[in-house]
Structure 1
Amino acid sequence: MRIDANSWYYSPDHGQLCQVIEAQTLWGETTCRVWLPGRDSVVRIPASRLKPIESAGTTSPEYIAYIAAAARVADALTQDVLLAPIESSVIPLPHQIRALSRAIANDRVRYLLADEVGLGKTIEAGLILRELKLRGLVKRTLVIAPKGLVSQWVAEMRVHFNEHFQLVLPEDIKTLSRISAVSGSEFLVPGSIQQPETRDQEPANPWTMFSQVVVPMDSVKPLDKRRGWSAAQVSEHNRERFEDLLSAGWDLVIVDEAHRLGGSTDQVARFKLGQGLSEAAPYFLMLSATPHQGKTDAFHRLVSLIDAQEFPDISSVTRERVQPHVIRTEKRRAIDADGKPLFKPRRTQLGPVSWEDRHRDQRLLYEAVTEYVREGYNQAMREKRNYIGFLMILMQRLVVSSTSAIKTTLERRLEALEERTTDGHGYTQMELSKEGSESIGVHPWFSPEEWADLDGQEQVDTLLKPRLKVLENERAEVELLLEAAKRCEAQGPDAKAEALLEWIYRLQAEEGDPDLKVLVFTEFVPTQEMLYTFLTERGFEVVCLNGSMDMEERKRVQDAFAKDARILISTDAGGEGLNLQFCHVVINYDIPWNPMRLEQRIGRVDRIGQTFTVRAINFVFEDSVEHRVREVLEEKLAVIFEEFGIDKTGDVLDSAQAGQIFDDLYVEAILNPDVVETKVDEVMKSIQEQARESRQSASVLGSTEDLDPREAQRLLAHPLPAWIETMTVSWLRSRSHELKAMRTEDDGISPGAEIIGKEGPATIWRLTWPDGTVQEGAFTHHSALSPHYSKLGLEEPRVRGLAMRLPPFAPGQPIPVITLPGLAPEIQGFWSLWEISIHVDSALSTQSSSLTRHRRVLPLFLADDGRVFAPTARHIWDQLVVTEPTILRHLDVETSHQAFERLREAAERQGKMIYDELVAAHRERLAREREKGEYAFAARRRAIERIGLPQVRNHRLSLLEQEEERFHEQLGRRTQILPELAPLLLVRVEGNHG
């Protein structure tokens, strides 16, 4: 075959058309330099390996159907069609659809997801993750969350998105390091660590063993120092947990409860962790219902993690600058798919518990412990023994919880007082006493934030581990109290346990449900154990959750409660991350002082999907300090709620603000019972002012617009999965025909696609790819799909490549003449598809998402009378993705060439508007970058000009000026735009004459 320069041929080695640039014959062998448009590269090929373009199989019905469907998929991606809702098992709500749409609309997916509590930010993050994966932009994802939420993240990603994350707990990190240091898997036996992705060669960085990881926030934050550790130990700790983590090559980082990264200064470990995470991946999501806690400096630090250039100083934190980076929905605007309000009303009431005559000893025990706490706390504060003070306060909460809880803790306290040893960290009693007087005032191994995250049981366990220095006469006091607790326990059930039983029967009657499910919360495990025995003995099926249970145990308990169990008793740590919409009654057996803890408990059932009015009953002893505080609190809080138009404590305060305020209030009430109302008034004034400031400062987040439920409905009915199916099946079948025609099946591999069955609405395909890979699965989601079948879609690189690398139609290629069923006889003309794109300086297109948004596909129908009909072009395109055409004949080369030139001229005219839109969008992005950069340089210049030393000031200004010049130079290169118009498919269409 003669090879002509500038002509088009087919290269079976590359599976695409190519254009010969140069042909050279040397010693009887002709070698060609050819351009491969699918790769945009030039390669050398022996002339003997080139085939005429007629051999390409590019004019078969299957190939035409492939190009039509693939172009439809590619065009859908450029138009920001959302893939994740179509490809996932979760059915998103309107506000979640809008969150995903906003996130994906920008090249730089770096946002703060700030929906109010209970609106499903985890689902939104999962949708964004899936969207980025389906677009081929993300492979490696890291999730950072508070320790109580990490199991929930693993479970929700698996259930809703079929995404498998490896949970790495603090105790697993050393194991990971050992695994990475050796070959083999002898360490991979028990525990939470599963098999890594690859076994052939373990990576040096242990964090690269898994592509999707969830890790607790405080287990990976960097340390400056730690008492008792050498600098080398601190350095090793930071390398394993912080530096290696950040250098593991993540594509997407998600941080839950991200407001914790703001810190009190820019030196706090959590903020340093945030800075590292922000720089560790191109895509970055922070989740927080309370990102702005009335502290502008902390909020500035938080948003600077999204874009340090956009927010160089506090003055940059304005509503106009913040809003593009924040995605937020308010509960009052949230609706379901039918447009109805998403949340049901809530009914909360106090459940006063009275001491009857038979409970006389319990009441005396309460009063004795309260007096013990009062005296012990005062003595601890005078002697600056903060450990003892915190333990005293916990004793008060324990006696209110149950006789069992106070008795168990008194036994442990007495044991501690009788032993005079060092604690597990090597601290003596005296050292601990001194440590307790330091400013953190809680515990030397916990920051104030970490201490506040612990539930009551965890705080008790922490404070009873060290052998604390004895207070005066405390041992005798504890012995007397312990005897009293044992007497009470021997006399029968607690007053509150009996009240719980009465309330359960009462609620069953009021709700009209003899099988009513009830969620009972307590702070302490001994109370949980006592209630389990008490209720089980009375015929109830009861299950328990607490912080000591692993993920599998928690799942078994939740499943049991969802099925047959009537009552779930949970501690605060056990309840973190629970989704219990099938239950609507919560009884708070003991009330945590921080009202946000109470809000979080009730939030376990007051969630999306709850169909009943939520009922919450808060137990409190009559004539107790706690009762007096609670009564006055609820009365005053109601006034504040009315003023701000809200109905939940969580809508006023976040846990960081509320914790210390209410701890101090209760302590003051215990120490000085006569001043309860005065102290409550003071606290309420403080809360009112904080709420007002918080609401005002939070306005920087902006208000949310009304939602449209129709968008969710449109997405679920989108034909994209059908287009992907047509694209993939048609391409494989066209390749099969091509290889058979060219007799290149020496290896016995025959690509193709065949239907092997149905499962529900899903068609099951067996796909055989040219490399011999065989896949069996369905293109449309079906939740009942057998596990050995795959979900086929754009996440599969082979499938996605079919849409992202569309081969061009070569000039001179014979144009097929086609007809389609139902096509009107008067439709006579040429139909074509053209890809319009712009190319800019490579510095701009650092992400492939940019490349996606720099192209569009234009369908064009040119009638024989010379007119262009856009509706007809779209109609023919619609038909080609659902029906294979019938090829009547092929036009000769000369006629094909003339038609190509006419169509190209028409495409230039019709595509100008699309080109102008692409250019305008590109220039708008550049303008945003320029404005952001100039703002940042101005802020940095102001900061440098405040430097007092002229030499230092001038030197830094000079460096800044050079940096600014480079910035503008790079920006200038990005203004150079090169247009491209590429033909994808040309056919002559002749209407069906019957």
Structure 2
Amino acid sequence: MSDFSPGQRWISDGEAELGLGTVLSNDFRSVTILFSASQETRTYNTRQAPLTRVMFGSGDRVLSADGWKMIVDESRESQGLITYVGEDEHGNPRELPEAKLADTMQFDQARDRLLTGQVDRNDWFDLRFRTLHHFQRIERHPALGLSGPRIDLIPHQLYIADEVSRRHAPRVLLADEVGLGKTIEAGLILHRLLLNGRIERALILVPDSLTHQWLVELLRRFSLDVRLLNETQSQAHGLANPFETAQLVLASQDWLFANPHRQEQAEASQFDLLIVDEAHHLAWSEEESGASYQCVERLSSKIPGLLLLTATPEQMGLASHFARLRLLDPERYHDFARFKEEEQHYGEVAGAIDALERLPGDADAREAINAVVDDRDSQALLATLANPEADAAQHESARGQLREALLDRHGTGRVMFRNSRRHVGGFPERRLHRVSLEMPPAYRRVVRRLERDEDYLDELLIESEMDYPDVLIYPDAMYRALSNDPLNVEPWWHIDRRINWLLERLSDDGEEGFANDKVLIIAHHRDTALGLAEGLRVLGGIHAPVFHEGLSLIERDRAAAAFADEEDGSQVLVCSEIGSEGRNFQFCRHLVMFDLPQHPDQLEQRIGRLDRIGQKHAIELHVPTFAGSPGERLLRWYHEGMDAFSAPHGVGSDLFEAFGDALADALLDDDSLNEIIAETRTLFSARLAEQDAGRNRLLELNACRPVKAEAVIEAISELDHDTALPRYIERALDIFGVDSQELGAGIMHLQPSPQMLDGLPGLVKGEEGFSATFDRARALSRDDIQRLSWEHPLTREMMGRILDGTMGNTALALLRHPAISSGRLMAELVFRTHCPAPRSLHLNRFLPPTAVRVLLDESGANLTGKISFTGLSQNLQKVNKSLARDLIKSRHDQLRELLTQGESEAECELPSIIEAGEKRMREQLDGELARLQALAEHNPAVRDVEIDALSRERQALSDAMEVTRLRLDSVRVIITADPKGR
């Protein structure tokens, strides 16, 4: 147990990058240390504190908080605090209390370990140097944060992730159509922000049915350890705030929205990023907002970053869409009427972008573009593009720059990303199979009476306690509700011919049958799904798991897993409507819609469970209806009125708002239905034309810019094929004590050896370990295989353990060479740049820890440029530790001199390193700042807070780089010996 006193200076053994710490307070149990340079505070147990007291001796150089330097002659201690006595750089006698030491100073562990005879293995020293080299290279790489996740390299997903994750506290709406990968985009953004230090904590709110799916996706694809929080776990923490128990918290929206106390705790937890899935369920209107919306609104006002996910941003109409944007930026989106007016002008901008392709020869095109550009730069580009004497390269360059300017400066594209299948391409064909069946007598009896007697509908609604038009569309539900009817004596599934049709298809191995395929069946009501499964079991001996809202999360996952298992899984999965949100069943190609939902967006969500990126087959959509029934009429409206089964069109909400009530009234009248279908088709065509010309066209163009997307993919591919990674992993695994066995086909199995160092991710002594590969495609094809990359937790952990600890920071070796006489000494010194700065600045993208190697012989001659690190290492031999300690002891004074000289040699390299880092920073941030300032004059979606934050970040980075220092990272002593061993 150490004696602590306020004002003493200590450094963290495991987090040396925090800088010099000051004791704030202590008692017999704990001590609190402030690391001012890094803006961090830590509290440690006094009996187990991983801390080292900073105490300098004669000859050591120290730096004061005021910037002057001193060489220590002696020190004196009073009441636990040290005062250093010596001379400053001008030879003046000075005293320096330890409390006045500069916070940016680092305790030089390598020097002290060496001079006390503590040396490590040579291969540890080699690995440390290579780790520092690779870490410096990877931290500056443009693909950092995007290359590690287990995903396909899909352009629109990577473009969005790259664009959004570059922003300070991003607040965006991810609104890609169903199946285009919004969850992957959100995971990529989260992963990169965490990896580069932009954020530290995130809260993820998803529908209850999707919590486990998100948990598995974040772990499997992104290797993110997320805490799933519910009421049981919250109560287990007693009075403590359960949201403070993890870095990443995943919670059910249903649970949190219904619990004001837990909401208050979440608001007080200082998250950096909030992710909300299925955000279209947040109810809002100009008159009032729902409890769910109010909860997210309060959270988003306290949490800097916000990602809203929805495939149907306008499911509840334009006002609902405005409500999402209002959460992202309440200052920008505060007036609904003004927002609607802006929407009307997007067609002009989209038309101008399309007109770019018709220049230079089309005068009308130039006029259309001229109407929407008003700045000097854009006018100059337009003049170049319209100039017939400019060459093709000049035209193409001007066209590209002008397109980028128009996309940047207009519309909601900066806060909303929406890709459509039409824009992305590569999706399978959808095939509609309409099946008309004879209506059961019990159903027909009710429908015929409804057609004859207008008053009977009111009686039916009262008697069945069902809503309108559910009572017409879902005859099985109506049948169940009228259980008191003496004629309704059999279970509905016993009389419903859709069950018989299903059983026939499931046993048919012909072209029309399902016998050899997986089949997903979706019904609107839970009771329908349960009865359907019972009917399949009783009438056909088919055991089908059921997925519905009444199941627990584990039961739902079990049902989905049973369906997904290719070898022993169920052929059929029966879902209630809840099965149409969030779940991915792209391994299946047959979808049976046992009935139809009322809203077009719900229909699209159903189809989207199968029709996703990665689907390799045409989607077979089977819709059994009863001839002459309201359900058949609803099918006609979907198919003939809006072509709903062929592809997502994004206008279903508008059409339902326009015709939903009239459609409900026409479900018993073919003549009225024909009129509504005709009117729907007319409006459908008009809305598609508006989309092509207006905001959706702009959003599509902005949501994936191919040139930038391709650059991101190229950067990721460069790391994917980095030949240094396998060599580095092999060396590191050997040193950390992990056995690696080649299994063939590029797969290896990693297993802990008895000598393995503890604490490696996925590797626990006594357990089997895991299989892994470096190949992205192979990892994607096998869920049981992990993909090793520079970002994999195992790689990051090994690199972190090396760089943050003392492993390999000292070594001694023998060099046998005929050209060098024996008994001579060399010192190989590796210095590392150190710049204490808040992690959120992500300083490493411009100035990561950088190695400066200095090789000196015993005369002080600098041999760095003559002998490479690799060339020297290959000719070194190990020395046992007892002999190494004796050799170091005998050359103590000589080593001190070489350490001092080496520091002076390395310091000569520091200015150029800092200058290069500042240049990289200026090139990127100055350009981005100028771009944002220019955009803000045209596009109000560019927030002032974003520009201010970027300006402050630039200044903070510049200030941090100015105090960059070098510290000795590692040192290897080399003794020459007779090559013949004499």
Mapped contact 1:541–1:564 kept (Cα < 8 A): no
Which residue in 2 is equivalent to 1:650? 648
Superposed counterparts of 1:796-815, under 5 Å: 802=801
Aligned partners of 1:105 and 1:990: how far apart in 2?
49
Residue 178 of structure 2: which of 93, 107, 117 is its match? 117
Matched with 2:41 is none
TM-aligned CA distance change 1:784 to 1:622, over 3 Å: closer
What's 1:912 paired with?
915
- Tell me which of 280, 283, 295 is aligned to 1:273: 295
| CA apart distance, 1:310 | 7.2
Measured in 2, the distance between the counterparts of 1:360 and 1:29 equals: 96
**Which of 571, 576, 586 is residue 571 of structure 1 equivalent to?**
576
Letter of the 2:519 partner, please give it. Answer: V
1:523 is paired with a residue whose SS is coil
User: Quick one: distance in 2 between partners of 1:965 and 1:714?
Assistant: 34
How far, CA to CA, are the matches of 1:549 and 1:803 in structure 2? Answer: 47
* Contact kept in structure 1, 2:312 and 2:650, CA below 8 Å: no
Aligned-pair distance for 1:552? 1.8
Q: 1:264 aligns with which of 278, 281, 285?
A: 285
The DSSP-based 3-state class of the residue aligned with 1:580 is: coil
Q: Equivalent of 1:618, from 611, 620, 623? A: 623
Instruction: Show the counterpart of 1:634.
Output: 639
The answer on whether the counterparts of 2:833 and 2:851 sit within 8 Å (CA) in structure 1 is no
Deviations along 1:824-857, one digit per CA (max 9) or x if unpaired, are xxxxx99986656778xxxxx7653533335235
**Conserved 8 A contact 2:204-2:275:** yes
Query: 1:459-608 residue pairs with structure 2 within 5 A?
Result: 482-486=485-489, 493-505=495-507, 508-510=509-511, 514-536=515-537, 537-562=539-564, 563-608=568-613
Q: 1:24 aligns with which of 58, 64, 75?
A: 75
SS in structure 2 of the partner of residue 676 of structure 1 = helix
Report the counterpart of residue 320 of structure 1 in structure 2.
408
Deviation at 1:520, TM superposition (A): 2.0
CA contact (8 A) 2:178 2:612 kept: no
Residues in 1 aligned to 2:563 and 2:100: alpha-carbon distance in whole angstroms = 60
User: In structure 1, what is the Cα distance between the partners aligned to 2:828 and 2:314?
Assistant: 55
Alignment correspondent of 2:211: 150
Structure 1 partner of 2:421: 331
Gaps (5+ residues) in structure 2?
1-12, 17-49, 63-71, 85-96, 344-405, 743-747, 774-781, 818-825
Closer, same or farther: CA 258–693 of 1 in aligned 2, 3 Å: farther
Q: In the alignment, which of 289, 292, 297 is matched to residue 311 of structure 2?
A: 289
Amino acid at match of 1:764: P
Which residue does the alignment assign to 1:664?
661
SS of the residue 1:118 aligns to: coil
Shift of 1:904: 3.9
Report what 1:217 is aligned to: 253
Which of 368, 371, 385 is residue 449 of structure 2 equivalent to?
A: 368
Find out whether 1:980 has 2:958 as its counterpart: no
Assess, with a 3 A threshold, how the Cα gap between structure 1 residues 262 and 488 changes in structure 2: closer, same or farther.
closer
Residues 119-128 or 76-85, more deviating: 76-85
User: Is the CA contact (8 Å cut-off) linking 1:582 and 1:605 kept in structure 2?
Assistant: yes
Match of 2:434 in 1: 350
Q: Counterpart of 2:52?
A: 14
Instruction: Mark the CA change 1:863 to 1:91 in structure 2 (over 3 Å): closer, same or farther.
Output: same
After the TM superposition, which residues 735-884 of structure 1 pair with which residues of structure 2 at under 5 Å, given as runs? 753-755=736-738, 760-764=748-752, 767-768=756-757, 776=765, 781=772, 802=801, 847-858=839-850, 876=870
Superposed displacement of residue 496, structure 1: 2.8
Q: CA deviation at 1:255?
A: 0.7
Q: Name 2:372's counterpart in structure 1.
A: none
Q: Does the Cα contact within 8 Å between 2:256 and 2:263 map onto a contact in 1?
A: yes
Give secondary structure in 1 for the equivalent of 2:677: helix
Give the AA of the match of 2:470: L
Deviation at 1:556, TM superposition (A): 2.5
1:518 deviation in Å?
A: 1.9
Output the amino acid matched with 1:284.
Answer: L
**What residue identity is the alignment partner of 1:74?**
F
Structure 2 residue 490 is matched with structure 1 residue 410: no
Deviations 1:263-288 (CA, angstroms, capped at 9, x unpaired): 33395234433332223434432222
Q: CA deviation at 1:549?
A: 1.3
Aligned AA for 1:761? H
Q: What secondary structure sits across from 1:509 in the alignment?
A: coil
| More off after superposition, 120-129 vs 312-321 | 312-321
Q: What are the equivalent positions in structure 2 for 1:194-205 lying under 5 Å apart?
A: 196=236, 202-205=238-241
Aligned mates of 1:853, 1:727 — CA distance in 2: 24
Q: How many residues were matched structurally?
A: 779
- How far apart are residue 495 of structure 1 and its match? 3.1
Give, in whole Å, the separation in 1 of the partners of 2:804 and 2:595. Answer: 62
Q: Is the 1:376–1:388 contact (alpha carbons within 8 Å) kept by the matching residues of 2?
A: no
After superposition, the C-alpha distances for 1:366-417 in whole angstroms (9 at most, x for unaligned) are 3225556x5355799xxxx999996242211222xx3xx3221113xx6xxx
Deviation at 1:650, TM superposition (A): 3.1
Q: CA deviation at 1:687?
A: 3.6
What is the identity percentage for the equivalent residue pairs of Structure 1 and Structure 2? 19
Q: Which residue in the other structure is 1:395 paired with?
A: 471
Distance 1:86 1:781 in 2: 16
The CA distance in 2 between the partners of 1:92 and 1:965, in whole Å, is 33
Alpha-carbon shift at residue 510 of structure 1 (Å): 0.5
Alignment partners' CA distance in 2, 1:690 and 1:83: 41
Deviation of the 1:615 alpha carbon: 0.4
Could you report, residue by residue, the CA deviation over 1:156-195 in whole angstroms, capped at 9, with x for unpaired residues?
34554565656566xx4xx677x3xxxxxxxxxxxxxxxx
Distance 1:512 1:657, change over 3 A: closer
Deviation (angstroms), 1:924 = 4.6
Conserved in 2, the CA contact under 8 Å of 1:588 and 1:617?
yes
Q: 2:438 touches 2:627 (CA, 8 Å); kept in 1?
A: yes
* Aligned residue number for residue 676 of structure 2: 679
Query: Aligned residue for 2:37?
Result: none
Q: Say if 1:594 and 1:659, in contact at 8 Å, map to a contact too.
A: yes
CA 530–250 in structure 1, closer or farther in 2 if over 3 Å, else same: same
Q: Secondary structure at the match of 1:24?
A: strand
Could you report, residue by residue, the CA deviation over 1:324-348 in whole angstroms, capped at 9, with x for unpaired residues?
55555543565xxxxxx75322212
**Would the alpha carbon gap of residues 262 and 597 (structure 1) be closer, same or farther in structure 2, given more than 3 Å must change?**
closer
Kindly indicate whether the alpha-carbon contact (under 8 Å) linking 1:779 and 1:793 is maintained by their aligned counterparts in 2. Answer: no
Higher mean alpha-carbon deviation, 24-33 vs 116-125, is at 24-33
Q: Distance in 2 between matches of 1:628 and 1:609?
A: 33
Return closer, same or farther for 1:866/1:370 CA change in 2, 3 Å cut-off. Answer: farther
2:116 to 45, 55, 70: 55
CA contact (8 A) 1:722 1:780 kept: no
Give 1:407's aligned amino acid: Y
**Any conservation in 2 of the 1:361–1:488 contact (CA below 8 Å)?**
no
Please give the secondary structure, in 2, of the residue aligned with 1:855.
coil
- Counterpart Cα distance in 2 of 1:968 and 1:138: 18
**Distance in 2 between the 1:56 and 1:327 partners?**
60
SS in structure 1 at match of 2:270: coil
Whole-angstrom CA distance in 1 between matches of 2:420 and 2:816: 53
Paired residue for 1:921? 924
Q: Which amino acid aligns with 2:695?
A: S
Q: Structure 1 residues 31 and 219, CA, compared in 2 at 3 Å: closer, same or farther?
A: closer
Once the two structures are TM-superposed, the CA of residue 530 in structure 1 deviates from its matched residue by 4.1
Say if 1:863 and 1:521 are closer, same or farther in 2 by CA, change over 3 A: same
Alignment check: 8 A CA contact 1:144 1:255 kept: yes
The answer on whether the counterparts of 2:408 and 2:939 sit within 8 Å (CA) in structure 1 is: no
> What TM-score does the superposition give when structure 2 sets the normalisation length?
0.64
Deviation of 1:616 after TM superposition, in Å, equals 0.5
Residues 182-228 of structure 1 deviation map (CA, whole Å, 9 limit, x = unaligned) = xxxxxxxxxxxxxx4x6xxx334354456554444365449xxxxxx
Q: CA deviation at 1:118?
A: 0.7
> 1:725 deviation in Å?
8.1
Amino acid at match of 1:302: R
**Residues 1:388 and 1:756: Cα distance change in structure 2 (over 3 Å):** closer
